[in-house]
Amino acid sequence: MPDPATGSDAARFDWADLGVLRDEVFSIWSDAPEQEWARKAWDCLSRDGLTQAPGVLARLQVRVRFCVLGSLYRDWCALVWDERHDDEPQMWLGEDEPLNAVHIGQLVGLGLDLDSDDPDDCVNEALVELMAQERPAVVESLMRHLGGVPGLFISLSRSRDDEDTDEEDRPDDDDLLNTVTGATLAGYGWLADGCPTTR
């Protein structure tokens, strides 16, 4: 359907279209309050045209970008909250719909030197490489639309909040930015460095 932001007739991959993939990637906390953060992050990507999927390869590429959001979130959780979870792109994407190794190879190109002869290992390595390729564009989009490093720091800091959290217990934005601990310094520094992979 046409994208209202770009006027393009290319099919856009909406939040509702993520279905099983959404639940696989963002299920760190009980009741998955982080899915609200993921929804807002996905909207950022949509505003930049990064959720357009006019064909089979573009559809895979868009789904990989969603996996990048999950990877970024896991890096944050590990750094700031000591909650460690591995990236599992092959499982995430395979649960959503069948993976096609030929399509993955078309996207990753000829420059990847695979370390294994096992087909499953090769698919996983290729998906990790695709995520690495897409990560800078995803980070740039989040920074642009969420208010740079401070805004992204605040949004991630609030990503565990749920509807039952009392307003009185919610620190305001200034409190979040000015509460200095080893964990918050690590998280802020990671954002300032462009959100490199840490696990």
Please report, for the chain, how many H helices and E strands are present, in that order.
Answer: 9, 0
Q: Tens of pLDDT along 44-82? A: 999 999 999 999 999 999 999 999 999 999 999 999 999
91-95, 103-107, 146-150, 179-183 — most confident range: 146-150
Q: In this predicted model, which residue has the larger pLDDT, 42 or 124?
A: 42
Please list the residues that pair with 12 across neighbouring strands: 52
Average pLDDT of the chain to the nearest whole number: 89
Average pLDDT rounded to a whole number, residues 145-159:
97
Where does the pLDDT of residue 12 fall: very low under 50, low under 70, confident under 90, or very high at 90 and above? confident
Domain ranges of the chain: 15-146
Distance CA 124, CA 134 (A): 15
- Nearest alpha carbon to residue 143 among 85, 77, 79, 190: 190
